[in-house]
A and B are shown apart, each in its own frame.
Chain A
Amino acid sequence: MSARVRQRLLGGLAIVVALVWAFPVYWMVNSSMLPTAKLESFTPTFVPFGGSFDNFAAALADGDFYSALGMSVAITAIAVFFCLLFAFLAAVAISRFRFRGRKSFIVAVLLVQMLPAEGLFIAQYKMIASVGLLNSIVGVSVIYIAAVVPFTIWMLRGFVAGIPADLEEAAMVDGLSRAQAFMRITFPLLAPGLVASGVYAFLQAWNEFTVALVLLPAESAQTLPLWLRGFVQASATRATDWGQVMAASTLVAVPVIVFFLIVQGKLTSGLVSGAVKG
């Protein structure tokens, strides 16, 4: 009996914690659907009854949105493609080959992965500026690839190592070349790993703020996070249209949340891989 009561209480507590944690996300969506008059009121409206999508229309009517979307899509696509390609080749090298310098390479990859953009952006700014690539898609993309490639190598390495080399060797005994064996046997098995790593790279490039802020100073070269920041900046000087800001935030957040849900399991296991032994 008391155990059951305790279970109930804990269950209730879990729900309360869940509500508190999800509240800001709910509040973003809720506010995005409310008209200005309700948001201006000093009594908050907790449920968007009678709400509309007008704020979304207004946010989308902002001319800069489409240019920001274009920049984000272009930069993210380039970053994800090259990041996957480079990381895949490197992951094959470190998990299928034994060569001198392998261990140092792994250490270097892990170390570089931890380096914060905040400790590098001044130099990256000077470098990109000196070759005239400020405000260009190429400049940011190169930095993004370099920033995301290390963890992607680490993630893919796990997947490649998980596919037994015996499979390839068996195919080679049956007459395939090493390259053929790899392409026909290992590569298809690797697809889930590539998807997971690709989504990880997507999330990093799509959400990135710091480097974009420094390397894309022109308004015409803004990515979506910078576009969103424009709303916050404006809020310091004039009355903010919070409905529009929240609609804009929702627009930026929804695709990310969807993609994130696809890979979340892989993310935790990659970061703390194998730290617990059963």
Chain B
Amino acid sequence: MNRTRTRTARWLLFPAVAVLIVGMGYPILWQLVTSTQEFGLAQQFGQSAEFIGLGNYLQLAADPGLWGVVIRSLVFCIVTAVVTLAIGMLIALLMGAVSKGPRLVLQIAMLLTWAMPVVAAMTVWIWLFDRRRGVINYLLDGIPGVEMNRFDWLESPTTFFIVASIIVVWMSVPFVAFSAYAGLTQVSDEILEAANLDGASPTQRVRHIILPMIKPVILIVFLLQLIWDLRVFTQIKLLQDAGPKGGAFDLLGTYIYKQGTLAQDFGMASAVSILVLAITIGMSWFYIRILLKEEES
């Protein structure tokens, strides 16, 4: 009986496992192998790939260009995730503090933003930041003493990444706000009232009661933001399509893309991909442990 049950379970799992092996397992394996090979243009034309061990990784470690990309990606990811978390939580607190009408308006706005397909969102933002006729330059130029007419946001890496970060924050805040708000609604009113009676100020209530109680949600949401912000490819790629395409405007995703498609250096591209996967798995591990703990209880 038990054995047939196990066999049934195996059959039920088979299609999902098969598609995962084809779509993800094999590519990961291929990347692991290729990252230890010299696999450039020559190999594309039939020359056999030579095993060079950790050669690609050593070459990468010595490449200041890649270090720039890695550091830029990490900084971008951390800054964007922190800003997203801060704004998302403030909006969640705001949702909790206002009456029903304004709350509904705020929630609808958040939902609209959350639902926007990423490519459509990018076209709108590129239009908003348009150098000559974008609304953002128009509005900023309207502030007395500010000269923003025809300011090109995409021209220098700093403002390029500020724009990218603003867009990513805009798109990610709704998820954080709704998750944190869902957490807030679970904080019992009785405890808050008791604290109120004991003379706790609003800031004290937030710090000593609300924050500790919603800490688990915040932790998960923050981890997910970090993981997601490390892999911003679409946003950077589309901004590059609309503006400059140089190496100074790359994050890890676009860097790998260029290594693979333009330079046709699959050995190096694989090595960087493995690096990205390793960082992601490292960060995901915490998230998975939290989810598994929930699953068991």
Check if B123 sits within 8 Å of A268, measured CB to CB.
no
Question: What string of 1s and 0s marks CB contacts (under 8 Å) between B214-239 and chain A?
Answer: 10110111001001001101100110
Neighbour of B123 across the interface among A25, A100, A112, A245, CB < 8 A? A245
Question: What string of 1s and 0s marks CB contacts (under 8 Å) between B63-107 and chain A?
Answer: 000000000000000000000000000010011011101110110
Query: For B234, what are the chain A residues with a Cβ–Cβ distance below 8 Å?
Result: 209-210
Q: Report the bound CA distance from A39 to B122 in whole Å.
A: 18
**Which residues of A line the B interface, CB within 8 A?**
7, 10-15, 17-19, 21-22, 24-25, 27-28, 31, 39-44, 82, 85-87, 89-90, 92-94, 97, 99-100, 102, 105-108, 110-112, 114-127, 142-143, 145-147, 149-150, 153, 206-207, 209-210, 213-214, 225, 228-229, 231-233, 235-236, 242, 245-246, 248-250, 252-253, 256-257, 260-261, 264, 268-269, 271-278
Q: Report the bound CA distance from A39 to B133 in whole Å.
A: 8
Query: For B174, what are the chain A residues with a Cβ–Cβ distance below 8 Å?
Result: 21
B281 → A minimal CB distance (Å) = 7
Q: Report the bound CA distance from A107 to B292 in whole Å.
A: 8
Q: Report the bound CA distance from A272 to B22 in whole Å.
A: 29
Query: For A123, what are the chain B residues with a Cβ–Cβ distance below 8 Å?
Result: 26-28, 30-31, 34, 270, 273
B126 → A minimal CB distance (Å) = 6
Check if B182 sits within 8 Å of A86, measured CB to CB.
no
Query: For B295, what are the chain A residues with a Cβ–Cβ distance below 8 Å?
Result: 106
Neighbour of B6 across the interface among A11, A100, A250, CB < 8 A? A100
Neighbour of B294 across the interface among A11, A125, A248, A274, CB < 8 A? A274
Neighbour of A253 across the interface among B15, B120, B290, CB < 8 A? B120
Check if B179 sits within 8 Å of A271, measured CB to CB.
yes
Check if B269 sits within 8 Å of A122, measured CB to CB.
yes
A99-B5, A123-B270 given; A25·B112 CB < 8 A: yes
Q: Report the bound CA distance from A7 to B97 in whole Å.
A: 8
Question: What string of 1s and 0s marks CB contacts (under 8 Å) between B140-181 and chain A?
Answer: 000000000000000000000000000000100111001100
